[in-house]
Structure 1
C-alpha cells in the first residue's frame, strides 16, 4: 500500500507540520445553546452556555467542546469502573447546541477551547 500525499493519514487530525504549526487550518467556532431551559434534554446533560473553540470543522468543534467536559471516569462519581460519558455530551446534540463559524481566517493557536 502506498501513501497518498493528498489524503491525510489516520491519526493525523490536529497534527503539526515540520515547523510546529497546525497541519490543517483551524477556525473559530461558536456553540450556542438553542433549546429552551425547560427542555427535558437538559436533564441528561448540563447547559454550559456559549462556548468558543478552535477546531477543524463544525463537527470537530462539537468534539473539541465535548472533550473539554469533565468525564465521570475523571472524578470519583458514578458511573465508574471505566464507563465514559463522552458520547452523552450536550455539545454533540444538534437540538441542544448549534455550531456556527465565527471566524474563517486561520487562527493561531492549538485545537481546543478558547
Structure 2
C-alpha cells in the first residue's frame, strides 16, 4: 500500500460581512486542513463547524448537518493551498487549526473533535 500525498489548505472567509449568503452561517474564521484536493479541503473543514449531532438539539436522530457547512460554499470561503506550511503533509486528513467551536443555540463553547 502506498502512502497518500496530502496537501495543506487554508480556508479563508471571502464574502463581505454584509453578504446575504452569511445568513446561512456566521463566518467561522480561517481554518487550516490536511486534505487531498480543494474540494476535499471543504469537506474536511466542515468538521470545524458544529454539527447538530454534536449538541443536544438534534433535528432528528442520526441526521447530520455537515452537508450544509459554510465551508462548502464557494461564495463564502476561498481555499488556497499552502506550499510553505508549518504542518507536515504526512498524516491523516484532518482539521489542523480552527477557531473555537460554539453552540449557536446556547452560545456555549463546544468540545473540539479531532483538532490537534
* Aligned-partner Cα distance in 2 for 1:104–1:61: 17
1:52 equivalent among 6, 9, 32: 32
Which structure has the larger Rg over C-alpha atoms? 1
Kept after mapping to 1: 8 A contact 2:47/2:95: no
Q: CA–CA distance in 2 between the matches of 1:43 and 1:76?
A: 23
Structure-1 separation of matches of 2:14 and 2:21:
11
Query: TM-score, structure 1 length as denominator?
Result: 0.72
Query: What's the counterpart of residue 85 of structure 1?
Result: 65
SS of the counterpart of 1:98? strand
1:78 to partner: Cα distance = 4.2
Question: Residues 30-45 of structure 1 correspond to what in structure 2 (within 5 A)?
Answer: 30-45=10-25
Q: Which residue of 2 aligns with 1:67?
A: 47
Give the aligned partner of residue 92 of structure 2: 110
Displacement of 1:104:
7.4
Indicate if the aligned counterparts of 1:28 and 1:53 stay in contact, CA closer than 8 A: yes
Instruction: Indicate conservation of the 8 Å contact 1:27/1:104, yes or no.
Output: no
Q: Which runs of 5+ in 1 are unaligned?
A: 1-16
Work out the number of aligned pairs and report it. Answer: 94
Aligned CA RMSD, in angstroms, stands at 2.1
Secondary structure of the residue aligned to 2:80 is strand
